[in-house]
C-alpha cells in the first residue's frame, strides 16, 4: 500500500524541531526504498496540537504520532510504514491511560469541526496541485458561472460574520461594495492579526494559502474588483513566503492575472508586509499603510466599502473569513448556516493557549461552551491547578471568570459579558495569574501601540497605565478603581478608532469580575496571586516540602539554600520571579504578603 | 558591519521597485533587512525617487517597529512579550538575556552580534514563551536554555570569521604566486 507521512511543519512544530524529523524520515524512506512500499513525506501546515509536537501522521491508516524525534524515523518507516504496526510510545495517551491510534479519537481533535482549517495539516501547502486535488478552486470555477448577486446571496444566506473582530456580516459588506458603480475597487486580506495570543491567521496562510486566495478571488468577482492586497505581519516569515509562492503558482495556472481561467476577468494580487504596528490591524490604518503612509486610523464618517484604499470602494476581510468563502460557495450558504448558533453561524478557529494542558489550534462550531473548549478539548489546567479566567479577544477583549464557564462562545454572548470574539485568542489563566497585573500588561502594551492621534486614547491609556502601575507596586489609593472606570467609559465613548474604544475592556472586565483582587492590592498591599513582585514574598512550607531541590535548580538568583535541614528562601537575594513556585510539584512554595512594600 | 553603505547598494534596493509611494514601506523594509537599519543617506534618495518628503519617510521609519534608524546587530533576537508569553514567563527570559548580554530592549551588543527587540507576538503562542532569532523560532524556553542558544550564534560567527581569514589568506597567497610568475 502506498502510504503518506504527514509531518507537521507549522511554526510551533518547527520550533520543536520538525524540520529535522522530516529530514530524517525522508532519509529513512530513501534507505528503505528497495522494499517497494512507496511512500512520501509531506511537510504540512499546523496540525493543531502544537504542545505535543512535532506531530507525524501516517495516512491512509491515520496513525498519529506525537513528540517525534529524528531518531524515531527509522522505526516509523520499518514498523509502521512497511509493516503497518503502530509504535506505542509515540501514541497519545488519554486520561485513562489508553493509547489512542487515530487523530479523531484524541479528545483534542474529536470535538472539532474543520472548515477554515479543512486543509491545514493535511496538504502540502507549497503545492497548488494538492490543493486542487483536495477540491480547491472548484468554488472559483463555480463562482465564475454565477452572477455577482448570486454569489453575494450565498454569502448572505450563510450568515457568516467577520472573523477578525467585531463580527460584521460579511454578505452585507460585500453587497454595499458591489452596488457602487465606481471603479477601480479593491479586496484586502487583513493578515496582520495584531492580537498577541492568536496565531490562527498565520497558520492558515502558511498551511493553506490557496484557500485564502480562492476566497479573495470569489470576493473580487462578487464586488467587481481587479486588484487585491494581502497585508501580512512581518513576524510571520513563513506565511509571507507561503502566500507569495501561492500567488505565483496561481498566476502560472491562469487563475490570476490577465484572465481568470480563460474568462475576460482580470485579477492581480500582491503581498504587503506589515511594519510591526498593532494599530495597522484596524482597517483604515491598514489601508493607509498599504498606500505608503504612516499607519494611522482615520474617522470612519464614510465606510471603507465606499471610500477605502486610495479613496475607492474596498472590501477588507480577515484571513479566516476569506478561507470560509470557498466552502460556502461549494456547500451552499444554507449548509454553513446550519452549523453554529442562529446569530453566529459556522465555526471559529481558536488559539487555545496559556495555562491549559493541550495548547494549540482548534476549530469548533460557534456556541460551544468555554468549559468544553478548555476542559474537554484543552485537557484542563496543567498540574491540577485551579482555573481562574480566560481572556478572549486580545487587547480589545476582556476576561471571563470561572463562574461563567458555561456560557456559549459566540459573538453576541461574549459581548454581553464585556469581552469579544476578536480574532480568536483564548488565553487561559490559572490561580498564579494576577488580574491587576494582567490589566496593567494590556494597558502598557496599548500605550505603546496607540497612534496618539486622538486625546481620549492617548491620554486615557497613559493615566490608566500609571494608576495600574501604582496599584501593582503597592501605591494604590482609595478611589483608583472608580477613576479607572471613569477613564474607561470616556475612552469607549470618545476614541477615534477601535483601538482606543476597546482598550479599556481588559481593565473594566477585570474590575467587574475580580474587584476583590484590586481591593486586596489597594487596601492590604497584598497580591493574592503572588505575581506583583513588590507585594509578594515566597516561603517554603516545610511540612509539604520533599527536599527535591527542583526549586533550587531554577532559581536564577540562587536564593534557595540548604540550611539546617530545611530550604529557606533568602529574602534578600530573592527576585520574586516565582519560578520556584511554578516548578514545585508538591505545592510547597507559597506566596505570602511581603516584598518591597 | 560596514557603516558607509554605498550609494550603489542603496540604489539597487530602491530601484527594485517602481517609483510609487506605496512602495516606500517595502523599500525601507528591504534596506532594513540588508543593512540592519535605514542608512541616513537613503532617505533623500527614496524621497527623490518616490517624490515624497524626507520628513514623511522619517515619520514612517519611526512609526513602524520593523524599521530602525540605528544599526542592528547581526542577529536580532525578537523576544515575544505577547500575552501568552508574558504569563508564561517572558519577563524572566528578558531579564536573563539582559544578564547574559548586557543589553535591554532596543539595544545592541557592543560587538554588534546581537540586538534585543521585545515584540508583541510571533505566532507561536502554543509553545510560549518563545523567541525568534533571525528566522528561527525557539519555544518553551526557560532562562536556563538561553546560554546554549546564544552560544550557538557566537560559534557560528567565530567559524565564519575563521573562514574569512582563511580565504583572505588564500587570496594573498594567490597574489604572491601571480606576482612571482610575472
Ligand atoms: S519547594 Fe518543592 S521542589 Fe523545592 S525543595 Fe521543596 S518540595 Fe522540592
Ligand atoms: S521567586 Fe524566583 S528568585 Fe525568588 S526564590 Fe523563587 S526562583 Fe528564586
Ligand atoms: S504571545 Fe508569544 S508567540 Fe504569541
pLDDT averaged over every residue in chain A: 89
**Shortest Cα distance, chain B CAs vs residue A108, angstroms:** 14
Q: Which of A343, A346, A315 has its CA nearest to residue A328?
A: A346
Cβ neighbour number for residue B133 with a 10 Å cutoff: 17
- What is the rounded distance in angstroms from the CA atom of residue A86 to the CA atom of residue A81? 9
**CB-CB neighbors (< 8 A) of A430 in chain B:** none
* pLDDT of amino acid A231: 94
Q: Do A235 and B123 touch (CB under 8 A)?
A: yes
As given in the structure block, the three cell numbers for residue A391 are: 481572556
pLDDT band at A35 (very low <50, low <70, confident <90, very high): low
The 10s digit of each residue's pLDDT in B15-73 is 999 999 899 999 999 999 888 899 988 999 999 999 999 999 998 998 888 898 988 88
**A/B interface, count of CB pairs below 8 Å:** 161
**Shortest Cα distance, chain B CAs vs residue A355, angstroms:** 8
Q: Do B120 and A278 touch (CB under 8 A)?
A: yes
pLDDT band at B181 (very low <50, low <70, confident <90, very high): very low
- pLDDT for residue A106 is more than 60: yes
- What is the rounded distance in angstroms from the CA atom of residue A219 to the CA atom of residue A217? 5
Kindly identify the ligand whose nearest atom is closest to the C-alpha of B127.
3
Nearest CA in chain B to A554: B144
- pLDDT for residue B179 is more than 50: no
The 10s digit of each residue's pLDDT in A176-212 is 999 998 889 999 999 886 677 788 898 999 999 999 9
Kindly identify the ligand whose nearest atom is closest to the C-alpha of B96.
2
In this structure, what DSSP letter does residue A109 have?
H
Give the predicted TM-score (pTM) of the model: 0.88
Q: Is A534 within 8 Å of A597 (Cβ atoms)?
A: yes
- Residues composing chain A: 597
Name all residues whose Cβ lies below 6 A of ligand 3. Answer: A 196-197, 199; B 80, 82-85, 121-125, 128, 130
**CB-CB neighbors (< 8 A) of A274 in chain B:** 66
The 10s digit of each residue's pLDDT in A64-90 is 999 999 999 889 888 888 888 899 889
Mutate to test the interface with B, among A17, A197, A205 (most CBs of B within 10 A): A197
Nearest CA in chain B to A557: B96
Q: Do A235 and B88 touch (CB under 8 A)?
A: no
Q: What is the mean pLDDT of residues A514-520?
A: 96
Cα torsion A202, A208, A211, A213: sign: positive
* pLDDT of amino acid A276: 77
The 10s digit of each residue's pLDDT in A356-388 is 999 888 999 999 999 999 999 999 998 888 999
Kindly identify the ligand whose nearest atom is closest to the C-alpha of A432.
2
Q: Which atom of ligand 3 is nearest to the CA of B90?
A: 2
Residues 6 or more apart whose Cβ sits within 8 Å of residue A202: A11, A191, A193, A233, A236, A238, A239, B123
The 10s digit of each residue's pLDDT in A525-583 is 999 998 898 888 888 888 888 888 888 887 877 788 776 666 677 777 787 878 888 88
- What is the rounded distance in angstroms from the CA atom of residue A527 to the CA atom of residue A555? 21
The 10s digit of each residue's pLDDT in A271-295 is 999 887 777 878 888 898 999 888 8
Q: Which atom of ligand 1 is nearest to the CA of A583?
A: 3
- pLDDT for residue B182 is more than 50: no
**Shortest Cα distance, chain A CAs vs residue B26, angstroms:** 7
Q: What angle do CA A420, A423, A429 make, to 5 degrees?
A: 65
pLDDT band at B180 (very low <50, low <70, confident <90, very high): very low
- pLDDT for residue A392 is more than 80: yes
Q: Is A536 within 8 Å of A524 (Cβ atoms)?
A: no
Of B56, B82, B135, the CB nearest to A237: B135
Amino acid at each position: 500500500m502506498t502510504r503518506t507521512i504527514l509531518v507537521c511543519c507549522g511554526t510551533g512544530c518547527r520550533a520543536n524541531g520538525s524540520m529535522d524529523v522530516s529530514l530524517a524520515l525522508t532519509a529513512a524512506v530513501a534507505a528503505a526504498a528497495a522494499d517497494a512500499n512507496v511512500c512520501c513525506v509531506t511537510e504540512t501546515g499546523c496540525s493543531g496540537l502544537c504542545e505535543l509536537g512535532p506531530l507525524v501522521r501516517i495516512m491512509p491508516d491515520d496513525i498519529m504520532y506525537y513528540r517525534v524525534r529524528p531518531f524515531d524515523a527509522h522505526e516509523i518507516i520499518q514498523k509502521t510504514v512497511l509493516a503497518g504496526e503502530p509504535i506505542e510510545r509515540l501514541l497519545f495517551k488519554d486520561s485513562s491511560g489508553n493509547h489512542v491510534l487515530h487523530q479523531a479519537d484524541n479528545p483534542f481533535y474529536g470535538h472539532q469541526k474543520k472548515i477554515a482549517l479543512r486543509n491545514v495539516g493535511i496538504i502540502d501547502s507549497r503545492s497548488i496541485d494538492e490543493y486542487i486535488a483536495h477540491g480547491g478552486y472548484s468554488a472559483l470555477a463555480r463562482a465564475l458561472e454565477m452572477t455577482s448577486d448570486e454569489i453575494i446571496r450565498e454569502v448572505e444566506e450563510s450568515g457568516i460574520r467577520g472573523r477578525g473582530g467585531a463580527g460584521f456580516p460579511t454578505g452585507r459588506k460585500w453587497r454595499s461594495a458591489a452596488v457602487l458603480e465606481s471603479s477601480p475597487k479593491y479586496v484586502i486580506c487583513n493578515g496582520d492579526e495584531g492580537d498577541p495570543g492568536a496565531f490562527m491567521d498565520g497558520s492558515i496562510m502558511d498551511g493553506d494559502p490557496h484557500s485564502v486566495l480562492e476566497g479573495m478571488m470569489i470576493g473580487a468577482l462578487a464586488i467587481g474588483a481587479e486588484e487585491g492586497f494581502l497585508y501580512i505581519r512581518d513576524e510571520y516569515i513563513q506565511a509571507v513566503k507561503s502566500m507569495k509562492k501561492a500567488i505565483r503558482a496561481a498566476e502560472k495556472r491562469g487563475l490570476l492575472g490577465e484572465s481568470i481561467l480563460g474568462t475576460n476577468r482580470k485579477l492581480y494580487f500582491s503581498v504587503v508586509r506589515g511594519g510591526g504596528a498593532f494599530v495597522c490591524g484596524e482597517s483604515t490604518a491598514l489601508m493607509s499603510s498599504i498606500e505608503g503612509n504612516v499607519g494611522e486610523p482615520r474617522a470612519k464618517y464614510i465606510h471603507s466599502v465606499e471610500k477605502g484604499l486610495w479613496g475607492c470602494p474596498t472590501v477588507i476581510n480577515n484571513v479566516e473569513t476569506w478561507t470560509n468563502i470557498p466552502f460556502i460557495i461549494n456547500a451552499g450558504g444554507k449548509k454553513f448556516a446550519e452549523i453554529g448558533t442562529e446569530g453566529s453561524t459556522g465555526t471559529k478557529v481558536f488559539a487555545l493557549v496559556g495555562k491549559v494542558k493541550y495548547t494549540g489550534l482548534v476549530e469548533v462550531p460557534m456556541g460551544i461552551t468555554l468549559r468544553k473548549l478548555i476542559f474537554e478539548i484543552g485537557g484542563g489546567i496543567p498540574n491540577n491547578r485551579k482555573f481562574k479566567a480566560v481572556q478572549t479577544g486580545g487587547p480589545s477583549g476582556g476576561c471571563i471568570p470561572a463562574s461563567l464557564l458555561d456560557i456559549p462562545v459566540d459573538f453576541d454572548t461574549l459581548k454581553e459579558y464585556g469581552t469579544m470574539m476578536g480574532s480568536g485568542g483564548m488565553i487561559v489563566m490559572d490561580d498564579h495569574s494576577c488580574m491587576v497585573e494582567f490589566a496593567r500588561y494590556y494597558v502598557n502594551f496599548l500605550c505603546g501601540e496607540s497612534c496618539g492621534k486622538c486625546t481620549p486614547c492617548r491620554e486615557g491609556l497613559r493615566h490608566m497605565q500609571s494608576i495600574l502601575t501604582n496599584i501593582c507596586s503597592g501605591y494604590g489609593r482609595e478611589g483608583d478603581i472608580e477613576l479607572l472606570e471613569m477613564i474607561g467609559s470616556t475612552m469607549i465613548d470618545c476614541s477615534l478608532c477601535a483601538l482606543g474604544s476597546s482598550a479599556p475592556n481588559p481593565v473594566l472586565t477585570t474590575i467587574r469580575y475580580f474587584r476583590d483582587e484590586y481591593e486586596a492590592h489597594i487596601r492590604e498591599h497584598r497580591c493574592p496571586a503572588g505575581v506583583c513582585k513588590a507585594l509578594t514574598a515566597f516561603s517554603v512550607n516545610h511540612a509539604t516540602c520533599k527536599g527535591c531541590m527542583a526549586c533550587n535548580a531554577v532559581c536564577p538568583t540562587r536564593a534557595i539554600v540548604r540550611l539546617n535541614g530545611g530550604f529557606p528562601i533568602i529574602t534578600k537575594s530573592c527576585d520574586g520571579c516565582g519560578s520556584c513556585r511554578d516548578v514545585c510539584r508538591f505545592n510547597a512554595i507559597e506566596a505570602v504578603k511581603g516584598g518591597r512594600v | 558591519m560596514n557603516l558607509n553603505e554605498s550609494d550603489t547598494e542603496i540604489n539597487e534596493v530602491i530601484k527594485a521597485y517602481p517609483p510609487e509611494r506605496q512602495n516606500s514601506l517595502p523599500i525601507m523594509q528591504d534596506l532594513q533587512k540588508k543593512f540592519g537599519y535605514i542608512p541616513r543617506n537613503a532617505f533623500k534618495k527614496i524621497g527623490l525617487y518616490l517624490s515624497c518628503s524626507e520628513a514623511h519617510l522619517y515619520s514612517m521609519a519611526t512609526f513602524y517597529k520593523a524599521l530602525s534608524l540605528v544599526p542592528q546587530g547581526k542577529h536580532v533576537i525578537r523576544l515575544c512579550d505577547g500575552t501568552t508569553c508574558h504569563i508564561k514567563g517572558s519577563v524572566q527570559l528578558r531579564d536573563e538575556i539582559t544578564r547574559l548580554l548586557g543589553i535591554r530592549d532596543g539595544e545592541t551588543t557592543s560587538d554588534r552580534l546581537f540586538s534585543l527587540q521585545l515584540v508583541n507576538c510571533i505566532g507561536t503562542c502554543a509553545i510560549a514563551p518563545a523567541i525568534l532569532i533571525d528566522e528561527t523560532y525557539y519555544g518553551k524556553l526557560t532562562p536556563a536554555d538561553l546560554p546554549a542558544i546564544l552560544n550557538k550564534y557566537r560559534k557560528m560567527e567565530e567559524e565564519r570569521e575563521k573562514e574569512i581569514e582563511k580565504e583572505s589568506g588564500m587570496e594573498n597567497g594567490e597574489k604572491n604566486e601571480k606576482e612571482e610568475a610575472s
